[in-house]
Amino acid sequence: MSKVLIIGCGGVASVAIHKCCQISEVFSELCIASRTKSKCDKLAAELAPKTETKLTTAQVDADDVQQVIDLIRSYQPDLVMNIALPYQDLTIMDACLACGVNYMDTANYEPEDTADPEWRAIYEKRCRDAGFSAYFDYSWQWAYRQKFKKAGLTALLGCGFDPGVTQAYCAYAKKHEFDSIETIDILDCNGGDHGYAFATNFNPEVNLREVSAPGSYWENGRWIEIPAMSIKREYDFDQVGHKDMYLLHHEEIESLALNIPEVKRIRFFMTFGQSYLEHMRCLEDVGMLSTVPVEFEGQQIVPIKFLKALLPDPASLGPRTKGKTNIGCIFTGKKDGKDKTYYIYNVCDHQTCFHEVGSQAVSYTTGVPAMCGALMLLTGQWSQPGVYTVEEFDPDPFLKALDQYGLPRKESWDPVLVK
């Protein structure tokens, strides 16, 4: 029996809320709060006849710490699930600390305004010191470790699929399959087709910022940064087939390098079709991916926000998207002195997801792990105070929950390796 406050009511949150409502014995009361309350009301009205979970809704601007504090004080939840945007991570963490409530999210902090001079000075120093230039990194949220520990509270960071399940796969490989892991390749394949020439599967602003940035990987204790999309490989994915994939920077590489220090190389690859890449290059060339405001007819406009308004809403892709996703990790390493390889992954079908929860598989593969992470926290299976990423907890009950609630694992001990 627990009370949970979910902030955000977009593509991912909608799946997480559907799934929480399937386990009313744990998620007995849910408050859905977001910037646009009408979306929360619509979802609550749709779910109320089908669930025992008691649903309420609220309006909140999570950029404003005081508004989040007021909401938490009035609702008194056991856990706050932040499924809004990475921009709100720090304000919601501050509010949780002020109110003594556990916290979780699905993506690490990045600022909305990357031109802010105060943030920029810290960012530029981090680029020089750490060696990668992504706008997001863990330093902002890791800075809360002592505060959460002292308060006896848990903050779980990045509990979607990647980040999230991919780190649980790493913890599982380390616990059960290897004495030491040498390389990790994280492979994120979306074989789905929505029929549009160009659309993003989750928040366009966050997605386009991520994929248009330089790629990077971890090798022999340091970051190697490369121009965006300059390392391409082809892979034959189970139940999807041959796809081109590109090396990207991805947030879980940073925490995995810290938590599995023996690993010599960690890379992240994501599949993209030609049409997506051509559109993205063109939009970038004309400045439409910029986060810096421009003046247009007397108004300040942020190009990437304007582009978001033009693109299809990711939540609307559900009925149109056909095909499967395949996301997982390939490991090499040693067990009992012998070389070993291991591949653990999940295959998820867009239409099956749509028929279950009304969303495509990209939202589903993020929302289900968010619910399972909340389940771990609420049932005390993951509970030590502090700020943690998924690989720092026991992977076994989490992977069991994923198997049960819609994202079962598949395994291979003889995978084709990525060159």
Number of residues that make up the chain: 419
CB of 161 to ligand NDP, least distance (A): 4
The closest of 42, 139, 100, 22 to 374, measured between CA atoms, is 22
Residue nearest ligand NDP, Cβ-based: 10
Residue with Cβ nearer ligand NDP (84 or 375): 84
CB of 371 to ligand NDP, least distance (A): 13
Answer positive or negative: Cα dihedral of 206, 173, 388, 154.
positive
Positions touching ligand NDP (CB under 6 A) are: 7-13, 34-36, 39, 60-63, 83-86, 88, 106-107, 158, 160-164, 202-203, 206, 314-315, 366
Residue with Cβ nearer ligand NDP (190 or 332): 190
CB of 388 to ligand NDP, least distance (A): 15
Residue with Cβ nearer ligand NDP (107 or 371): 107
CB of 186 to ligand NDP, least distance (A): 11
**How would you class 324 by CB atoms within 10 Å of its CB: exposed for 0-12, middle for 13-18, buried for 19 or more?**
buried
CB of 80 to ligand NDP, least distance (A): 12
Residue with Cβ nearer ligand NDP (210 or 349): 210
CB of 29 to ligand NDP, least distance (A): 20
CB of 340 to ligand NDP, least distance (A): 27
Residue with Cβ nearer ligand NDP (23 or 62): 62
Residue with Cβ nearer ligand NDP (35 or 267): 35
Per the listing, tokens 């720092």 go with 392
Residue with Cβ nearer ligand NDP (10 or 215): 10
Query: SS3 sequence, the chain?
Result: CEEEEEECCCHHHHHHHHHHHCCCCCEEEEEEEECCHHHHHHHHHHHHHHCCCEEEEEECCCCCHHHHHHHHHHHCCCEEEECCCHHHHHHHHHHHHHHCCEEEECCCCCCCCCCCHHHHHHHHHHHHHHCCCCCCCCHHHHCCHHHHHHHCCEEEECCECCCEHHHHHHHHHHHHHCCEEEEEEEEEEECCECCCCCCCCCCHHHHHHHHCCCEEEEECCEEEEECCCCCEEEEEECCCEEEEEEECCCHHHHHHHHHCCCCCEEEEEEECCHHHHHHHHHHHHCCCCCCCCEEECCEEECHHHHHHHHCCCHHHHHHHCECEEEEEEEEEEEECCEEEEEEEEEEEEHHHHHHHHCCCHHHHHHHHHHHHHHHHHHCCCCCCCEEEEHHHCCHHHHHHHHHHHCCCCEEECCCCCCC
CB of 283 to ligand NDP, least distance (A): 18
Residue with Cβ nearer ligand NDP (107 or 151): 107
Residue with Cβ nearer ligand NDP (58 or 224): 58
CB of 419 to ligand NDP, least distance (A): 25
CB of 244 to ligand NDP, least distance (A): 20
Residue with Cβ nearer ligand NDP (6 or 151): 6
Calculate the CA 105 to chain-centre distance. 8
